[in-house]
Amino acid sequence: MPTILGQNQYGKAENRVVKITRDGATHHIKDLNVSVALSGDMEEVHYSGSNANVLPTDTTKNTVFAFAKEHGIESAEQFGIHLARHFVTSQEPIRRARIRVEEYAWERIEVSGEAEHSFVRKGQETRLTQVTYDGDTWEVVSGLKDLTVLNTTDSEFWGYVKDTYTTLKEAYDRILATSVSARWRFNWTTDEQSMPDWETSYEQVKRHMLQAFAETYSLSLQQTLYQMGARVVEHLGEIDEIRFSLPNSHHFLVDLEPFGLKNDTADGAVYFAADRPYGLIEGTVLRDGCEARIPVDLTNL
Ligand SMILES: O=c1[nH]c(=O)c2[nH]c(=O)[nH]c2[nH]1
């Protein structure tokens, strides 16, 4: 049965590019998911396997990261236009380029004023609660998930154990990012007159967590976790226990040396935001003398 090739396109999808710009102590962030789809004279690669017209998808990925460094990211549209023009005008067989961009919006964490290098992702987190009553005693465990935060600096990781399998380079200025999942247990159990103000309490827990994240100079995500928990328990008398599950959302500096581009943290850099695997840092912070009752696995709550 004779067949012919119909519409076809190819390219690297979902390049997670994060560009930090440093304006003195004030940092700016652009966080994009960029997908490239190219089409043109691509019959031969499909019919005979000749790659003579094929610009590798790997190259399209490198171009995205290199352009972010070389030209910056003014807007998703400007970045898309620049890339599309490049592919179509630089490669004769490529007749059409479609660049799709998703942009994730970040806002500055409020500390005393707006933080210079600490951000929370726009869009609401999910608020959670679990109430249990046995006719006598109440247990209220509340929480949140998908509260995504990022520090563009004030994070290091070094001095760790090194064995035969350790390849990780020590980091003295890295991005620290996580999506906070937390559960906290109220010590209110019986007296309905002295119930906490749940709405106020929620806002305060969130504020203390965000401020602790922003203000901790972090030597590990574990240290940041403890600071966030301690801040909540110390400030809010109604909470005895808080547990966190914090994925370490790795941002890797992209090696742009092959394209003659210096990509240094110190003057604002381009990062590859990896989605998996990720470090997963979990732990409970307790008021001294209180019992731990929040389950280890937060998915069970
Ligand atoms: O903050 C961190 N804690 C770790 O335990 C760890 N492990 C790792 O590879 N990177 C990091 N970062």
In a domain, 86, yes or no: yes
The residue to which tokens 């935060």 are assigned? 149
Task: Provide the pLDDT for residue 299.
Answer: 81
In a domain, 186, yes or no: yes
Report CA Rg, the chain: 24
Ligand 1, CB cutoff 6 Å, lining residues:
157, 168, 220-222, 248, 279
What ligand 1 atom has the least distance to the C-alpha of 224? 1
155 and 36 in a single domain? The answer is no
The residue to which tokens 């003195």 are assigned? 24
Binding-site residues for O2 sit at 57, 248
Instruction: Quote the ipTM score.
Output: 0.99
Count Cβ atoms below 10 Å from residue 165 Cβ, excluding itself. Answer: 6
What ligand 1 atom has the least distance to the C-alpha of 220? 1
Q: Containing domain of residue 50, as a range?
A: 15-104
Distances in Å between the Cα of 82 and the Cα atoms of 68, 73, 79, 236, 251 are: 10, 10, 5, 50, 24
Count Cβ atoms below 10 Å from residue 117 Cβ, excluding itself. Answer: 21
Distance CA 2, CA 4 (A): 7
Q: Which of residues 104, 135, 159 is at a domain's end?
A: 104
Opening angle at CA 52, ends 51 and 55, nearest 5? 75
86 and 115 in a single domain? The answer is no
Testing ligand 1's pocket by substitution, the residue of 172, 248, 250 carrying the most ligand atoms inside 8 A of its CB is 248
Half-sphere exposure of 291 (CA within 13 A, CB side): 2
Distance CA 139, CA 142 (A): 10
In a domain, 25, yes or no: yes
In a domain, 288, yes or no: yes
132 and 246 in a single domain? The answer is yes
End-to-end, the C-alpha distance of the chain in Å comes to 58
Q: Which of residues 104, 128, 161 is at a domain's end?
A: 104
Ligand 1 mean position to 219 CA, how many Å? 9
Task: Provide the pLDDT for residue 89.
Answer: 98
60 and 196 in a single domain? The answer is no
Protein residue closest via CA to atom 8 of ligand 1: 279
Q: What are phi and psi of 200, to 5 degrees?
A: -65, -45
Q: What CATH number did the domain enclosing 186 receive?
A: 3.10.270.10
167 and 77 in a single domain? The answer is no
93 and 148 in a single domain? The answer is no
Task: Provide the pLDDT for residue 128.
Answer: 96
100 and 113 in a single domain? The answer is no
113 and 192 in a single domain? The answer is yes
Binding-site residues for 5-hydroxyisourate sit at 57, 157, 174, 222, 248
122 and 246 in a single domain? The answer is yes
Testing ligand 1's pocket by substitution, the residue of 149, 157, 252 carrying the most ligand atoms inside 8 A of its CB is 157
Ligand 1 mean position to 110 CA, how many Å? 26
Catalytic residues: 12, 57, 250
224 and 244 in a single domain? The answer is yes
Task: Provide the pLDDT for residue 267.
Answer: 87
Half-sphere exposure of 226 (CA within 13 A, CB side): 6
Beta bridge partners of 186: 239
Binding-site residues sit at 57-58, 157, 174, 222, 248
Protein residue closest via CA to atom 7 of ligand 1: 279
Per-residue pLDDT of the chain (301 residues; tens, 9 = 90+): 799 999 999 999 999 999 999 999 999 999 999 999 999 999 999 999 999 999 999 999 999 999 999 999 999 999 999 999 999 999 999 999 999 999 999 999 999 999 999 999 999 899 999 999 999 999 999 999 999 999 999 999 999 999 999 999 999 999 999 999 999 999 999 988 999 999 999 999 999 999 999 999 999 999 999 999 999 999 999 999 999 999 999 999 999 999 999 999 998 899 999 999 999 999 999 999 999 999 999 987 7
How many domains does the chain fold into?
A: 2
Ligand 1 mean position to 157 CA, how many Å? 7
Q: Which of residues 80, 104, 128 is at a domain's end?
A: 104
89 and 182 in a single domain? The answer is no
140 and 203 in a single domain? The answer is yes
In a domain, 263, yes or no: no
Ligand 1 mean position to 296 CA, how many Å? 20
